[in-house]
Homo-oligomer: A and B are copies of this chain.
Amino acid sequence: MSNTEKIPYKIYLDEKEMPKQWYNVRADMKNKPAPLLNPGTHQPMGFEDLRPVFCDELIKQELDNDTPYFDIPEEILGFYKMYRPSPLVRAYCLEKKLGTPAKIYYKFEGNNTSGSHKLNSAIAQAYYAKKQGLKGVTTETGAGQWGTALSMACAYLGLDCKVYMVKCSYEQKPFRREVMRTYGASVTPSPSMETQVGRKILAEHPGTTGSLGCAISEAVEVATTNEGYRYVLGSVLNQVLLHQSVIGLESKIAMDKYGVKPDTIIGCAGGGSNLGGLISPFMGEKLRGEADYQIIAVEPASCPSFTRGKFAYDFCDTGMVCPLAKMYTLGSGFIPSANHAGGLRYHGMSTVLSQLYDDGLMEARSVEQTKVFEAAEMFARVEGILPAPESSHAIRVAIDEALKCKETGEEKTILFGLTGTGYFDMYAYAAFNDGTMSDYIPTDEDLEKGFAGLPKMD
């Protein structure tokens, strides 16, 4: 790209340039992601098996490994226009601060009240639930972005929304909870005494601060035992990656418009919703042999499913009521250390991304949280956006890559996903500002305990 002078600080697509279809990367995968299995029989779950848990239309999306494009319904396109397109930002100020010859771009998904990309899938899932004539949906939330996004989507469509929020987040983030209440959602700290599985977990682990896996179990139980409710999930699932492809599609359209091609694409990865969405059209080109990209997943050193997990069938939840999924996992009983701030704390990883990683189509790195917050603070001061701790994992590696370019003189083009803002994570920033934040890397023994809980397969 020669005439970089022409590239503005922020590229906003026109409404008419916005994607009208989601892209399903599974259609281009030679090795398809492994199917969900019934936890009792270990048989693949079909449409009918999943109907008690998920909406019909979403099951179709979940199971479809062949259709490359799905039309985005008009109503969802309308909602997208309320907060999209999101800007693709050229990080001129960060480049200058680093003194790097690298060209850094980030796709910023935080300019909506949920504070993250989660709204892209929340509105889709709520829409299909509404279309099916349901009363409401249940879900879990960890850091709170997903719960907030779902509350917003449900308020817009007039659906009831029950959120089970991991207890430590519920306590650390009373204001995040209050946003969900403002959007009319009910928010319950998990594990709770409201469900059978919650009572069981509390009996076995009194005083637990909860985990995503545990909150999922509760939300699924409530969905399957209440007439007119279904369960929805903000990450991990194939359908979520499908909806989130809008991030990558918009990024690619914007870059193509200016003749820019990324060399390296970086995203944080917890369950994989952002990374999967950001990379999808680029990965599609790579799978079809049309282009090559270096793709890097970044995860916390305290919850290292890609870099230290096993690629195996595992329970998606702690209560073991959900289907089994084949994924890079730390075991459904793994809970990150209490000093871990922010999200990215799920024990497993999207089966799509797990397969792509296992096939050598992408890399993974783990980073420690004090290094992550150092990057977050630098970014906030020069780019003017206070990033979410999750997003800051990607910032960390983008900065590291840009500094490598400074050494080598390479003029790489780096694209990373800035998933959201950190306004509800100030307790974590306070720990960093006070110098009381610490790092935690699980020992091999810690990980062995998690792996011991993996289901025995035939």
Interface on A for B, CB 8 Å cutoff?
A: 8-10, 12, 14-15, 81-83, 93, 111-113, 115, 119, 152, 155-156, 174-175, 178-179, 181-184, 377, 380-386, 421, 423-424, 426-427, 429-430, 432-433
Contacts and interface: CB of A to CB of B under 8 A. Distances in A.
Given A113-B384, A113-B421, A179-B426, 20 more contacts: A8-B15, A9-B15, A9-B82, A10-B81, A112-B384, A115-B423, A155-B380, A156-B382, A174-B426, A175-B423, A175-B427, A178-B427, A179-B429, A181-B429, A181-B430, A182-B377, A182-B429, A182-B433, A183-B380, A184-B381
Contacts of A12: 12
Given A155-B381, A175-B423, A433 B181 contact: yes
Contacts of A9: 15, 81-82
Nearest to A7: B15
B82 A179 contact: no
A82 B384 CA distance: 7
Nearest to A381: B155
A430 B178 contact: yes
A111 B115 CA distance: 11
A154 to B, nearest CB: 10
Copies of this chain present in the complex amount to 2
A381 B423 contact: no
A384 B152 contact: yes
9 contacts: A8-B14, A112-B385, A174-B426, A175-B430, A179-B386, A179-B429, A182-B433, A183-B380, A423-B423
Contact of A380 (B113, B115, B426): B113
Contacts of A181: 429-430, 433
Given A111-B111, A179-B386, A386-B182, A81 B381 contact: no
Contact of A386 (B82, B113, B432): B113
Contact of A175 (B112, B175, B182, B183): B175
A182 B115 CA distance: 19
A384 B156 contact: yes
Contact of A381 (B112, B115, B156, B386): B156
Contacts of A10: 81
Contact of A424 (B111, B383, B423): B423
A144 to B, nearest CB: 12
A174 B381 CA distance: 20
Nearest to A16: B8
B385 A113 contact: yes
A15 to B, nearest CB: 5
Nearest to A15: B8
A220 to B, nearest CB: 27
A170 to B, nearest CB: 14
Query: Which interface residue of A156, A423, A424 has the most chain B CB atoms within 10 A?
Result: A423
Contacts of A111: 111
Contact of A433 (B15, B115, B156, B178): B178
A119 B385 CA distance: 12
Contacts of A115: 423
Nearest to A425: B175
Contacts of A381: 152, 155-156, 183-184
A381 B111 CA distance: 16
Contacts of A433: 178, 181-182
A179 B428 CA distance: 11
Given A113-B385, A113-B421, A423-B423, A380 B182 contact: yes
A384 to B, nearest CB: 5
Contacts of A385: 112-113
A289 to B, nearest CB: 36
